[in-house]
Structure 1
Protein backbone atom coordinates (compact mmCIF):
# COMPACT_ATOMS: atom_id res chain seq x y z
CA UNK A 1 0.00 0.00 0.00
CA UNK A 2 1.38 3.40 -1.07
CA UNK A 3 2.00 5.74 1.82
CA UNK A 4 0.86 9.38 1.95
CA UNK A 5 4.27 10.98 1.24
CA UNK A 6 4.66 8.89 -1.92
CA UNK A 7 1.17 9.86 -3.11
CA UNK A 8 1.94 13.52 -2.50
CA UNK A 9 5.20 13.24 -4.47
CA UNK A 10 3.38 11.54 -7.37
CA UNK A 11 0.70 14.24 -7.33
CA UNK A 12 3.33 16.97 -7.47
CA UNK A 13 5.15 15.21 -10.35
CA UNK A 14 1.87 14.86 -12.26
CA UNK A 15 1.09 18.53 -11.69
CA UNK A 16 4.52 19.54 -13.01
CA UNK A 17 4.08 17.31 -16.06
CA UNK A 18 0.66 18.82 -16.83
CA UNK A 19 2.08 22.31 -16.45
CA UNK A 20 4.92 21.51 -18.89
CA UNK A 21 2.48 20.03 -21.38
CA UNK A 22 0.43 23.22 -21.20
CA UNK A 23 3.54 25.34 -21.75
CA UNK A 24 4.54 23.19 -24.75
CA UNK A 25 1.06 23.54 -26.26
CA UNK A 26 1.24 27.32 -25.89
CA UNK A 27 4.70 27.32 -27.50
CA UNK A 28 3.47 25.22 -30.43
CA UNK A 29 0.56 27.61 -31.00
CA UNK A 30 2.94 30.60 -30.95
CA UNK A 31 5.31 28.89 -33.40
CA UNK A 32 2.41 28.14 -35.75
CA UNK A 33 1.34 31.80 -35.63
CA UNK A 34 4.92 32.93 -36.33
CA UNK A 35 5.20 30.56 -39.30
CA UNK A 36 1.93 31.90 -40.74
CA UNK A 37 3.13 35.49 -40.38
CA UNK A 38 6.45 34.69 -42.06
CA UNK A 39 4.71 32.84 -44.89
CA UNK A 40 2.55 35.88 -45.58
CA UNK A 41 5.41 38.35 -45.55
CA UNK A 42 7.89 36.11 -47.46
CA UNK A 43 5.90 33.92 -49.86
CA UNK A 44 7.68 30.96 -51.36
CA UNK A 45 8.49 30.73 -55.06
CA UNK A 46 5.34 30.20 -57.07
CA UNK A 47 3.04 31.30 -54.27
CA UNK A 48 0.60 34.13 -54.76
CA UNK A 49 1.81 37.41 -53.34
CA UNK A 50 -1.14 39.59 -52.24
CA UNK A 51 0.88 42.74 -52.82
CA UNK A 52 1.49 41.64 -56.39
CA UNK A 53 -2.17 41.29 -57.32
CA UNK A 54 -4.58 38.41 -57.63
CA UNK A 55 -3.16 35.48 -59.53
CA UNK A 56 0.43 36.01 -58.38
CA UNK A 57 1.30 38.77 -60.85
CA UNK A 58 4.88 39.75 -59.93
CA UNK A 59 5.84 43.17 -58.69
CA UNK A 60 7.12 45.19 -61.61
CA UNK A 61 5.74 46.87 -64.68
CA UNK A 62 4.15 45.99 -67.99
CA UNK A 63 6.84 47.86 -69.95
CA UNK A 64 9.56 45.62 -68.55
CA UNK A 65 7.85 42.23 -68.79
CA UNK A 66 9.55 39.76 -71.14
CA UNK A 67 7.94 36.38 -70.37
CA UNK A 68 4.89 35.79 -72.65
CA UNK A 69 3.16 33.63 -70.03
CA UNK A 70 3.64 36.27 -67.35
CA UNK A 71 2.40 38.95 -69.76
CA UNK A 72 -0.69 36.95 -70.71
CA UNK A 73 -1.57 36.09 -67.12
CA UNK A 74 -0.92 39.66 -66.02
CA UNK A 75 -3.20 41.12 -68.69
CA UNK A 76 -5.99 38.67 -67.93
CA UNK A 77 -5.71 39.48 -64.24
CA UNK A 78 -5.60 43.20 -65.03
CA UNK A 79 -8.70 43.07 -67.25
CA UNK A 80 -10.64 41.26 -64.53
CA UNK A 81 -9.63 43.92 -62.00
CA UNK A 82 -10.44 46.78 -64.40
CA UNK A 83 -13.98 45.42 -64.78
CA UNK A 84 -14.41 44.54 -61.11
CA UNK A 85 -12.98 47.74 -59.60
CA UNK A 86 -11.59 50.49 -61.83
CA UNK A 87 -14.51 51.03 -64.21
CA UNK A 88 -17.03 51.31 -61.36
CA UNK A 89 -15.79 54.85 -60.69
CA UNK A 90 -17.77 57.37 -62.79
CA UNK A 91 -14.69 59.27 -64.03
CA UNK A 92 -12.83 56.12 -65.07
CA UNK A 93 -13.13 55.74 -68.83
CA UNK A 94 -11.05 53.64 -71.19
CA UNK A 95 -10.91 53.95 -74.98
CA UNK A 96 -11.46 50.84 -77.06
CA UNK A 97 -7.73 50.85 -77.90
CA UNK A 98 -6.45 50.94 -74.31
CA UNK A 99 -4.55 47.65 -74.71
CA UNK A 100 -2.74 49.19 -77.69
CA UNK A 101 -1.26 51.90 -75.44
CA UNK A 102 1.62 50.45 -73.36
CA UNK A 103 1.62 53.53 -71.12
CA UNK A 104 -2.06 52.97 -70.27
CA UNK A 105 -1.45 49.32 -69.42
CA UNK A 106 1.54 50.34 -67.29
CA UNK A 107 -0.51 52.90 -65.36
CA UNK A 108 -3.32 50.44 -64.65
CA UNK A 109 -0.82 47.63 -63.92
CA UNK A 110 0.76 49.50 -61.02
CA UNK A 111 -2.57 50.94 -59.86
CA UNK A 112 -3.86 47.39 -59.57
CA UNK A 113 -0.76 46.43 -57.58
CA UNK A 114 -1.21 49.40 -55.27
CA UNK A 115 -4.85 48.44 -54.76
CA UNK A 116 -3.96 44.85 -53.87
CA UNK A 117 -1.27 46.04 -51.46
CA UNK A 118 -3.51 48.62 -49.77
CA UNK A 119 -6.40 46.21 -49.28
CA UNK A 120 -4.30 43.18 -48.29
CA UNK A 121 -5.55 41.70 -45.03
CA UNK A 122 -2.10 41.42 -43.45
CA UNK A 123 -0.11 44.30 -45.00
CA UNK A 124 -2.83 46.81 -45.86
CA UNK A 125 -4.15 49.66 -43.76
CA UNK A 126 -6.85 52.32 -43.79
CA UNK A 127 -4.16 54.92 -44.45
CA UNK A 128 -2.95 53.10 -47.56
CA UNK A 129 -6.53 52.63 -48.73
CA UNK A 130 -7.08 56.35 -48.30
CA UNK A 131 -3.95 57.09 -50.35
CA UNK A 132 -5.25 54.85 -53.12
CA UNK A 133 -8.60 56.66 -53.20
CA UNK A 134 -7.28 60.20 -52.75
CA UNK A 135 -4.04 60.21 -54.76
CA UNK A 136 -3.29 57.09 -56.76
CA UNK A 137 -6.58 56.46 -58.58
CA UNK A 138 -7.38 60.13 -59.40
CA UNK A 139 -3.81 60.64 -60.59
CA UNK A 140 -4.03 57.71 -63.01
CA UNK A 141 -7.42 58.91 -64.28
CA UNK A 142 -6.02 62.37 -65.04
CA UNK A 143 -2.98 61.03 -66.84
CA UNK A 144 -5.01 58.59 -68.92
CA UNK A 145 -7.47 61.28 -69.96
CA UNK A 146 -4.58 63.51 -71.01
CA UNK A 147 -2.73 60.74 -72.85
CA UNK A 148 -5.49 58.88 -74.72
CA UNK A 149 -8.64 60.95 -74.40
CA UNK A 150 -10.41 60.83 -77.78
CA UNK A 151 -8.32 57.96 -79.15
CA UNK A 152 -9.94 54.88 -80.68
CA UNK A 153 -8.85 51.62 -82.26
CA UNK A 154 -9.51 52.88 -85.80
CA UNK A 155 -6.61 55.29 -85.37
CA UNK A 156 -4.16 52.40 -84.88
CA UNK A 157 -3.65 51.78 -88.59
CA UNK A 158 -0.38 50.58 -90.15
CA UNK A 159 0.59 54.13 -91.17
CA UNK A 160 -0.20 55.59 -87.76
CA UNK A 161 2.64 57.07 -85.71
CA UNK A 162 1.03 55.36 -82.69
CA UNK A 163 2.53 52.07 -83.89
CA UNK A 164 6.08 53.42 -84.15
CA UNK A 165 8.14 52.37 -81.09
CA UNK A 166 9.50 55.36 -79.19
CA UNK A 167 13.19 56.11 -79.60
CA UNK A 168 15.25 58.04 -77.06
CA UNK A 169 16.49 61.26 -78.70
CA UNK A 170 20.14 61.47 -79.78
CA UNK A 171 21.29 58.01 -78.63
CA UNK A 172 24.72 58.51 -80.24
CA UNK A 173 25.49 61.27 -77.75
CA UNK A 174 25.30 58.91 -74.77
CA UNK A 175 28.95 57.84 -74.86
CA UNK A 176 30.31 61.39 -74.96
CA UNK A 177 27.93 62.49 -72.20
CA UNK A 178 29.00 59.57 -70.01
CA UNK A 179 32.71 60.26 -70.41
CA UNK A 180 32.36 64.00 -69.82
CA UNK A 181 30.08 63.58 -66.81
CA UNK A 182 32.32 61.08 -65.10
CA UNK A 183 35.37 63.25 -65.81
CA UNK A 184 34.76 66.32 -63.68
CA UNK A 185 30.97 66.57 -64.01
CA UNK A 186 31.21 68.44 -67.31
CA UNK A 187 28.91 68.30 -70.32
CA UNK A 188 30.20 68.48 -73.91
CA UNK A 189 29.14 71.19 -76.33
CA UNK A 190 26.56 69.87 -78.86
CA UNK A 191 27.97 69.05 -82.28
CA UNK A 192 26.39 70.38 -85.52
CA UNK A 193 25.07 66.88 -86.23
CA UNK A 194 23.46 66.70 -82.80
CA UNK A 195 21.84 70.08 -83.25
CA UNK A 196 20.31 68.96 -86.57
CA UNK A 197 19.09 65.70 -85.03
CA UNK A 198 17.57 67.63 -82.12
CA UNK A 199 15.76 69.98 -84.52
CA UNK A 200 14.28 67.02 -86.44
CA UNK A 201 13.16 65.42 -83.19
CA UNK A 202 11.50 68.60 -81.98
CA UNK A 203 9.62 69.02 -85.29
CA UNK A 204 8.35 65.44 -85.02
CA UNK A 205 7.25 66.03 -81.44
CA UNK A 206 5.42 69.19 -82.48
CA UNK A 207 3.56 67.38 -85.28
CA UNK A 208 2.69 64.51 -82.93
CA UNK A 209 1.32 66.84 -80.26
CA UNK A 210 -0.74 68.87 -82.72
CA UNK A 211 -2.12 66.19 -85.01
Structure 2
Protein backbone atom coordinates (compact mmCIF):
# COMPACT_ATOMS: atom_id res chain seq x y z
CA UNK A 1 0.00 0.00 0.00
CA UNK A 2 1.59 3.23 -1.13
CA UNK A 3 1.73 6.33 1.03
CA UNK A 4 0.89 9.85 -0.20
CA UNK A 5 2.92 11.55 2.55
CA UNK A 6 5.69 13.90 1.17
CA UNK A 7 9.27 13.17 2.12
CA UNK A 8 10.50 14.68 5.37
CA UNK A 9 13.15 16.76 3.57
CA UNK A 10 11.80 17.71 0.13
CA UNK A 11 14.35 18.55 -2.52
CA UNK A 12 17.33 17.50 -0.41
CA UNK A 13 20.49 17.88 -2.44
CA UNK A 14 24.06 19.15 -2.50
CA UNK A 15 23.34 22.77 -1.56
CA UNK A 16 22.75 22.26 2.13
CA UNK A 17 19.61 20.35 1.49
CA UNK A 18 18.09 22.80 -1.00
CA UNK A 19 17.66 22.63 -4.75
CA UNK A 20 16.26 24.76 -7.51
CA UNK A 21 16.16 28.57 -7.14
CA UNK A 22 17.30 28.48 -3.53
CA UNK A 23 20.42 26.52 -4.42
CA UNK A 24 21.24 28.98 -7.19
CA UNK A 25 20.86 31.88 -4.80
CA UNK A 26 23.19 30.15 -2.34
CA UNK A 27 25.80 29.70 -5.06
CA UNK A 28 25.51 33.39 -6.03
CA UNK A 29 25.98 34.53 -2.45
CA UNK A 30 28.97 32.24 -2.05
CA UNK A 31 30.55 33.62 -5.24
CA UNK A 32 30.01 37.20 -4.12
CA UNK A 33 31.61 36.39 -0.80
CA UNK A 34 34.70 34.99 -2.56
CA UNK A 35 34.92 38.15 -4.72
CA UNK A 36 34.57 40.49 -1.76
CA UNK A 37 36.94 38.70 0.64
CA UNK A 38 40.16 40.00 -1.07
CA UNK A 39 38.81 43.56 -0.85
CA UNK A 40 38.66 43.41 2.93
CA UNK A 41 42.46 43.96 3.05
CA UNK A 42 42.33 46.97 0.70
CA UNK A 43 42.12 49.65 3.44
CA UNK A 44 45.20 48.21 5.12
CA UNK A 45 47.10 48.19 1.82
CA UNK A 46 46.12 51.80 1.14
CA UNK A 47 47.38 52.79 4.59
CA UNK A 48 50.64 50.93 3.91
CA UNK A 49 51.13 52.73 0.57
CA UNK A 50 50.41 56.08 2.23
CA UNK A 51 53.08 55.33 4.84
CA UNK A 52 55.61 54.41 2.15
CA UNK A 53 54.83 57.63 0.27
CA UNK A 54 55.26 59.68 3.44
CA UNK A 55 58.66 58.09 4.12
CA UNK A 56 59.70 58.74 0.52
CA UNK A 57 58.70 62.40 0.81
CA UNK A 58 60.70 62.74 4.02
CA UNK A 59 63.73 61.16 2.34
CA UNK A 60 63.55 63.54 -0.63
CA UNK A 61 63.18 66.52 1.69
CA UNK A 62 66.12 65.33 3.78
CA UNK A 63 68.33 64.98 0.69
CA UNK A 64 67.40 68.46 -0.48
CA UNK A 65 68.09 69.87 2.99
CA UNK A 66 71.50 68.20 3.21
CA UNK A 67 72.40 69.39 -0.26
CA UNK A 68 71.39 72.99 0.50
CA UNK A 69 73.10 72.88 3.89
CA UNK A 70 76.48 71.93 2.42
CA UNK A 71 77.63 74.77 0.17
CA UNK A 72 81.03 74.66 -1.46
CA UNK A 73 83.76 76.44 0.50
CA UNK A 74 85.12 79.64 -0.94
CA UNK A 75 88.74 80.59 -1.41
CA UNK A 76 88.02 84.29 -1.70
CA UNK A 77 86.35 84.33 1.72
CA UNK A 78 88.32 81.48 3.24
CA UNK A 79 89.03 81.65 6.99
CA UNK A 80 92.23 83.43 7.94
CA UNK A 81 93.49 80.32 9.74
CA UNK A 82 96.44 78.92 7.72
CA UNK A 83 95.47 75.38 8.70
CA UNK A 84 92.12 75.82 6.95
CA UNK A 85 93.58 77.29 3.78
CA UNK A 86 96.29 74.64 3.67
CA UNK A 87 93.73 71.86 4.02
CA UNK A 88 91.64 73.39 1.25
CA UNK A 89 94.63 73.61 -1.11
CA UNK A 90 95.70 70.07 -0.24
CA UNK A 91 92.25 68.73 -1.16
CA UNK A 92 92.19 70.81 -4.32
CA UNK A 93 95.61 69.76 -5.59
CA UNK A 94 94.80 66.09 -4.97
CA UNK A 95 91.60 66.48 -6.98
CA UNK A 96 93.39 68.35 -9.76
CA UNK A 97 95.86 65.51 -10.16
CA UNK A 98 93.18 62.81 -10.02
CA UNK A 99 90.44 64.44 -12.11
CA UNK A 100 90.89 67.89 -13.64
CA UNK A 101 94.32 67.44 -15.24
CA UNK A 102 93.16 64.22 -16.90
CA UNK A 103 91.35 66.42 -19.42
CA UNK A 104 93.85 67.73 -22.00
CA UNK A 105 92.14 71.08 -22.47
CA UNK A 106 92.12 71.72 -18.73
CA UNK A 107 95.79 70.77 -18.34
CA UNK A 108 96.78 72.88 -21.35
CA UNK A 109 95.33 76.15 -20.04
CA UNK A 110 96.16 75.87 -16.33
CA UNK A 111 99.27 78.04 -15.85
CA UNK A 112 102.01 77.02 -13.47
CA UNK A 113 101.20 80.13 -11.44
CA UNK A 114 97.54 79.19 -10.97
CA UNK A 115 97.74 79.25 -7.18
CA UNK A 116 98.84 82.92 -7.31
CA UNK A 117 95.49 83.79 -8.91
CA UNK A 118 92.68 83.79 -6.32
CA UNK A 119 90.01 83.84 -9.03
CA UNK A 120 91.41 80.66 -10.57
CA UNK A 121 91.58 78.92 -7.20
CA UNK A 122 87.97 79.94 -6.53
CA UNK A 123 86.84 78.52 -9.88
CA UNK A 124 88.62 75.23 -9.28
CA UNK A 125 87.29 74.89 -5.71
CA UNK A 126 83.66 75.14 -6.75
CA UNK A 127 84.26 72.90 -9.76
CA UNK A 128 85.73 70.27 -7.45
CA UNK A 129 82.66 70.39 -5.23
CA UNK A 130 80.33 70.30 -8.23
CA UNK A 131 82.11 67.12 -9.31
CA UNK A 132 81.72 65.66 -5.83
CA UNK A 133 77.99 66.46 -5.81
CA UNK A 134 77.58 64.85 -9.23
CA UNK A 135 79.47 61.65 -8.44
CA UNK A 136 79.62 61.21 -4.68
CA UNK A 137 76.99 63.41 -3.02
CA UNK A 138 73.66 62.25 -1.56
CA UNK A 139 71.90 63.42 -4.73
CA UNK A 140 74.55 62.17 -7.18
CA UNK A 141 73.06 61.37 -10.58
CA UNK A 142 73.83 60.84 -14.23
CA UNK A 143 72.14 64.18 -15.00
CA UNK A 144 74.47 66.07 -12.64
CA UNK A 145 77.48 64.28 -14.07
CA UNK A 146 76.38 65.17 -17.59
CA UNK A 147 75.98 68.81 -16.62
CA UNK A 148 79.45 68.82 -15.08
CA UNK A 149 80.99 67.48 -18.29
CA UNK A 150 78.89 69.43 -20.75
CA UNK A 151 78.66 72.85 -19.07
CA UNK A 152 80.53 73.33 -15.81
CA UNK A 153 84.01 71.99 -16.58
CA UNK A 154 84.23 73.55 -20.08
CA UNK A 155 83.06 76.87 -18.61
CA UNK A 156 85.86 76.92 -16.04
CA UNK A 157 88.44 75.93 -18.68
CA UNK A 158 87.25 78.76 -20.93
CA UNK A 159 87.44 81.40 -18.19
CA UNK A 160 90.88 80.27 -17.03
CA UNK A 161 92.11 80.49 -20.61
CA UNK A 162 90.66 83.97 -21.07
CA UNK A 163 91.84 85.42 -17.76
CA UNK A 164 95.25 83.89 -17.02
CA UNK A 165 96.02 81.51 -19.85
CA UNK A 166 99.16 83.42 -20.88
CA UNK A 167 100.48 84.01 -17.38
CA UNK A 168 103.50 82.26 -15.89
CA UNK A 169 105.53 82.02 -12.70
CA UNK A 170 108.10 84.43 -14.17
CA UNK A 171 105.54 87.20 -14.34
CA UNK A 172 105.14 86.97 -10.57
CA UNK A 173 108.87 87.44 -9.99
CA UNK A 174 110.91 90.62 -9.86
CA UNK A 175 113.03 90.77 -13.01
CA UNK A 176 115.10 93.71 -14.19
CA UNK A 177 113.65 96.08 -11.66
CA UNK A 178 110.13 95.28 -12.79
CA UNK A 179 107.71 94.82 -9.88
CA UNK A 180 106.24 91.33 -9.73
CA UNK A 181 102.69 90.67 -10.81
CA UNK A 182 100.84 90.09 -7.56
CA UNK A 183 97.24 89.28 -6.89
CA UNK A 184 96.18 92.07 -4.58
CA UNK A 185 92.67 92.86 -3.49
CA UNK A 186 91.23 95.41 -5.93
CA UNK A 187 90.06 98.76 -4.65
CA UNK A 188 86.34 99.36 -5.01
CA UNK A 189 85.75 102.49 -7.13
CA UNK A 190 84.01 105.44 -5.44
CA UNK A 191 84.52 103.88 -2.04
CA UNK A 192 84.96 107.31 -0.45
CA UNK A 193 81.53 108.50 -1.62
CA UNK A 194 79.44 105.50 -0.65
CA UNK A 195 77.85 107.28 2.32
CA UNK A 196 77.01 110.32 0.19
CA UNK A 197 75.44 108.19 -2.55
CA UNK A 198 73.53 106.14 0.02
CA UNK A 199 72.07 109.29 1.59
CA UNK A 200 71.10 110.68 -1.81
CA UNK A 201 69.36 107.46 -2.86
CA UNK A 202 67.52 107.22 0.44
CA UNK A 203 66.29 110.81 0.63
CA UNK A 204 66.54 112.52 -2.75
CA UNK A 205 66.76 109.97 -5.53
CA UNK A 206 64.45 112.08 -7.73
CA UNK A 207 67.08 114.84 -7.78
CA UNK A 208 70.48 114.85 -9.47
CA UNK A 209 73.05 112.61 -7.76
CA UNK A 210 76.21 114.03 -6.16
CA UNK A 211 79.06 114.65 -8.60
CA UNK A 212 82.00 112.26 -8.48
CA UNK A 213 84.70 113.58 -6.19
CA UNK A 214 87.77 115.05 -7.90
CA UNK A 215 86.16 115.24 -11.34
CA UNK A 216 84.13 117.76 -13.26
CA UNK A 217 80.95 116.96 -15.06
CA UNK A 218 82.75 116.21 -18.30
CA UNK A 219 85.14 113.83 -16.55
CA UNK A 220 88.22 116.08 -16.55
CA UNK A 221 90.21 116.40 -13.35
CA UNK A 222 89.58 119.57 -11.39
Would the TM-score normalized by the shorter structure come out above 0.5? yes
Is the alpha carbon distance of 1:145 and 1:195 closer, same or farther for their aligned partners in structure 2, counting shifts above 3 Å?
farther
Is the alpha carbon distance of 1:63 and 1:195 closer, same or farther for their aligned partners in structure 2, counting shifts above 3 Å?
farther
Is the alpha carbon distance of 1:121 and 1:173 closer, same or farther for their aligned partners in structure 2, counting shifts above 3 Å?
closer
Is the alpha carbon distance of 1:71 and 1:164 closer, same or farther for their aligned partners in structure 2, counting shifts above 3 Å?
closer
- In terms of Rg, which structure is larger? 2
Higher helix share: 1
Structure 1 residue runs without a partner (length 5+): 1-29, 44-48, 53-57, 201-211
Where do residues 72-151 of structure 1 align in structure 2 (5 Å cutoff)?
72-93=86-107, 94-120=110-136, 122-151=138-167
Question: Which of 154, 158, 164 is the aligned partner of 2:170?
Answer: 154
TM-score by length of 2: 0.59
8 A Cα contact 1:156 1:163, kept in partner: no
Is the alpha carbon distance of 1:102 and 1:127 closer, same or farther for their aligned partners in structure 2, counting shifts above 3 Å?
same
Matched, 1:177 2:193: no
Question: Which of 61, 72, 76 is the aligned partner of 1:59?
Answer: 72
Is the alpha carbon distance of 1:142 and 1:179 closer, same or farther for their aligned partners in structure 2, counting shifts above 3 Å?
same
Matched, 1:68 2:85: no
Is the alpha carbon distance of 1:166 and 1:78 closer, same or farther for their aligned partners in structure 2, counting shifts above 3 Å?
same
Deviation at 1:157, TM superposition (A): 2.4
Deviation at 1:42, TM superposition (A): 7.1
SS class of match (1:162): coil
Deviations 1:31-83 (A, max 9, x none): xx99xx7998777xxxxx9x96xxxxx73310000232221111000000011
Structure 2 residue runs without a partner (length 5+): 1-51
Is the alpha carbon distance of 1:42 and 1:73 closer, same or farther for their aligned partners in structure 2, counting shifts above 3 Å?
farther
Deviations 1:175-196 (A, max 9, x none): 1122222335457232351569
8 A Cα contact 1:115 1:132, kept in partner: yes
Is the alpha carbon distance of 1:182 and 1:127 closer, same or farther for their aligned partners in structure 2, counting shifts above 3 Å?
farther
